[in-house]
Structure 1
């Protein structure tokens, strides 16, 4: 599965110069956990996450402590540029989803901007990947059948079933055709493995 099949697009971006509160409202309104930050020319300058935006926004509640609460020494950040992450890990539309997952795990990040050259064309997040895995087996089964009939109309017919995202193809053995069917079934977002039953 490729990133372009699971990414969210069009992408919601914020400007480096946007006030923090505007970015907070934008992420909340679009129900996203992070957004690419762009400069005045629309080029990727960073990423800002919910956690970045929360920094310094709340002062201690005096009711939570018996001691007087001190006023913070510095004012809270005012602009996105002050809280964003400047070193950005990105992927392309044709990056394999397994590579994106490895990056998320290894770098401990929730979202990756998706680039086509210098253009930001989407975001892929853990939530996007979870949505693919959450697709019902019946829906996945129908999608595999459609992929086989549309992409390989003159191939042999297979009985298709899907259980927990694993596509099972059964029918008479056709080594060459089975390899093609295997590839086509794996392109269906949400299919995690393909097995041939005899």
Structure 2
């Protein structure tokens, strides 16, 4: 599956000069967990997450301590540029979702901006990946059949079974037809793997 088939688009961004509280409100209003940060020209400058924005926003409540809590030293950061992550992992719309998912798990990141050239065209988040995997087997089967019917070799009949996102295709032993069916099945959101079985 390609990134463009799973990403959230259009993307919500925030300028680096926005205040932390403005960014918090944008996250809350759009029910998202991270925002790509843009410079004056609209290019990607960083990314800011819930954790980045929460850092230093709350002061200790003295009622929670047996003795008075020392006042905080430095004031909380005021602008997004002060708390954002500047070294950002990115991907392209034609990237492989499996590779990005592996990167996200290894690097412990929750969102990856999607760039087409220098334009930010989407964001791929863990929530997007979960949404893809949550698609029911019946819907995945219908979408695989529809894709093969629309774009596959004419007159070719396939039997499709789906179990927990794993697709099994049973059809002609013709290698070209199998290759086309395999590629088409893999484009369907929710498909985790594809296996083929030819019939005589």
Q: TM-score per shorter chain, which class? A: over 0.9
CA distance in structure 1 between the aligned counterparts of 2:143 and 2:27, rounded to whole angstroms: 32
Q: 1:188 to 1:2 in 2, by over 3 A?
A: same
- List gaps (5 residues or longer) in structure 1: none
Q: Which digits, 9 at most, give the CA deviation of each residue in 1:107-151, with x for residues without a partner?
A: 211100000001000000011011100001111011001100111
CA distance in structure 1 between the aligned counterparts of 2:84 and 2:168, rounded to whole angstroms: 45
How far is the alpha carbon of 1:176 from its aligned partner? 2.3
Q: Secondary structure of 2:71's match? A: coil
How far is the alpha carbon of 1:171 from its aligned partner? 3.3
Contact kept, 8 Å, 2:18 with 2:79, in 1: the verdict is: yes
Q: Secondary structure of 1:82's match? A: helix
- Per the alignment, residue 43 of structure 1 pairs with 43
Once superposed, which parts of structure 1, at least 4 consecutive aligned residues long, lie more than 4 Å away?
Answer: none
| Pairwise CA RMSD | 1.2
CA distance in structure 2 between the aligned counterparts of 1:194 and 1:38, rounded to whole angstroms: 39
Q: Secondary structure of 1:114's match? A: strand
State how many pairs are aligned: 198
Contact kept, 8 Å, 2:47 with 2:84, in 1: the verdict is: yes
Please report the TM-score for the alignment, with normalisation by the length of structure 2: 0.95
Superposition pairs of residues 1-198 of structure 1, within 5 angstroms: 1-197=1-197
Contact kept, 8 Å, 1:11 with 1:123, in 2: the verdict is: yes
CA distance in structure 2 between the aligned counterparts of 1:184 and 1:133, rounded to whole angstroms: 18
CA distance in structure 2 between the aligned counterparts of 1:26 and 1:153, rounded to whole angstroms: 47
CA distance in structure 1 between the aligned counterparts of 2:116 and 2:62, rounded to whole angstroms: 49
Please report the TM-score for the alignment, with normalisation by the length of structure 1: 0.96
How far is the alpha carbon of 1:28 from its aligned partner? 0.9
Q: Which digits, 9 at most, give the CA deviation of each residue in 1:83-127, with x for residues without a partner?
A: 000111111111111221122122211100000001000000011
Contact kept, 8 Å, 2:152 with 2:177, in 1: the verdict is: no
Contact kept, 8 Å, 1:155 with 1:177, in 2: the verdict is: no
Q: Secondary structure of 1:102's match? A: helix
